[in-house]
Amino acid sequence: MDHLDSTRNDHKDFLKGSLEQFLPNPLLMFQKWYQTAFEKNCPSPHAMVISTVSAIGQPSSRVVYMKEVLEEGLVFYSNYKSKKGRDLESNPHISALFFWEVTEQQVRLEGKVIKIAPEMSDAYFASRPRISQIGAWASHQSETIQNRAALELLVEEFEAKYPNEVPRPPHWGGYLIEPHYFEFWQGRLGRLHDRICYVRKGEDWEIKRIAP
Ligand SMILES: Cc1cc2nc3c(=O)[nH]c(=O)nc-3n(C[C@H](O)[C@H](O)[C@H](O)COP(=O)(O)O)c2cc1C
């Protein structure tokens, strides 16, 4: 295997900010950082890595797009029958991670998912491009398929079945992550990073600083 020098960036300094002032609510804090990530042109600021755990305790991670920040948590959309969907069916605990390199920030959160109201999924599905809508019907996400042609054949079939409006497949929709834990990480000089955690205590959030 080719040897890539993985130590090349080991001594990078983090100098872009500090975390001295934080809001009492982590979702507002998240909103603020997310907004800054957009303004500073972080690539794909809404890309988040979510990890789920299977019934036998095997963790599994993948990227999804975070679509909405609500007062209750963060929303993403997927196939309810996918690998992640099956994991979440048996174990609704989830973790999510954002890394914004431009601002040298990382946000980690942990919580439980619930499926969002069908009407909310309907509204978002209706706003998607037709090709994505057809894809949601044609792709049995995470199942084995014979080859690419088999997938494309299914696309053609659903194109023919739904020449006009495409209804939302019942197995496709949104999840709301209801977080009980947040960590905001701001890179600092000399690896003395700022890390502020929020732990849910009933209706309130306990805030603490942890060592880098
Ligand atoms: C940048 C990016 C964005 C993605 N967004 C989504 C998404 O919003 N929803 C989704 O189901 N999969 C999304 N995917 C695909 C997932 O990473 C994954 O391949 C798929 O959901 C199947 O995962 P699973 O087999 O663990 O269920 C995205 C992948 C990338 C690289």
Give the domain ranges of the chain.
Answer: 16-124+170-209
So which residues are the catalytic ones? 191
Phi, psi (deg, nearest 5) at residue 121: -65, -40
Atom 5 in ligand 1: residue holding the nearest Cα: 64
Atom index in ligand 1 nearest the CA of residue 82 equals 27
What confidence score (pLDDT) does residue 6 get?
66
What confidence score (pLDDT) does residue 10 get?
66
Atom index in ligand 1 nearest the CA of residue 85 equals 27
How far does the centroid of ligand 1 lie from the alpha carbon of residue 174, in Å?
13
Q: For residues 85 and 45, give the distance between their C-alpha atoms in angstroms, rounded to a whole number.
A: 23
Residue 97 is labelled as binding a ligand: no
What confidence score (pLDDT) does residue 7 get?
65
8-state DSSP, 189: G
What confidence score (pLDDT) does residue 83 get?
98
Atom index in ligand 1 nearest the CA of residue 44 equals 1
Q: For residues 71 and 138, give the distance between their C-alpha atoms in angstroms, rounded to a whole number.
A: 33
Q: Which of 42, 61, 62 to mutate to test the pocket of ligand 1 (most atoms within 8 A of CB)?
A: 62
Residue 130 falls in which region: left (phi positive, over 0), alpha (psi -120 to 50) or beta: alpha
Q: What is the pLDDT along the chain (212 residues), one digit of tens a residue?
A: 666 776 666 678 888 888 888 899 999 999 999 999 999 999 999 999 999 999 999 999 999 999 999 999 999 999 999 999 999 999 999 999 999 999 999 999 999 999 999 999 999 999 999 999 999 999 999 999 999 999 999 999 999 999 999 999 999 999 999 999 999 999 998 889 999 999 999 999 999 999 99
How far does the centroid of ligand 1 lie from the alpha carbon of residue 78, in Å?
7
Out of 3.40.1010.10, 1.20.1090.10, 3.30.70.240, 2.30.110.10, which CATH number does the structure's domain 16-124+170-209 have? 2.30.110.10
Contacts of 95 (CB under 8 A, 6+ apart): 50, 51, 108, 109, 110
Atom 19 in ligand 1: residue holding the nearest Cα: 62
Atom 14 in ligand 1: residue holding the nearest Cα: 64
Residue 78 is labelled as binding a ligand: yes
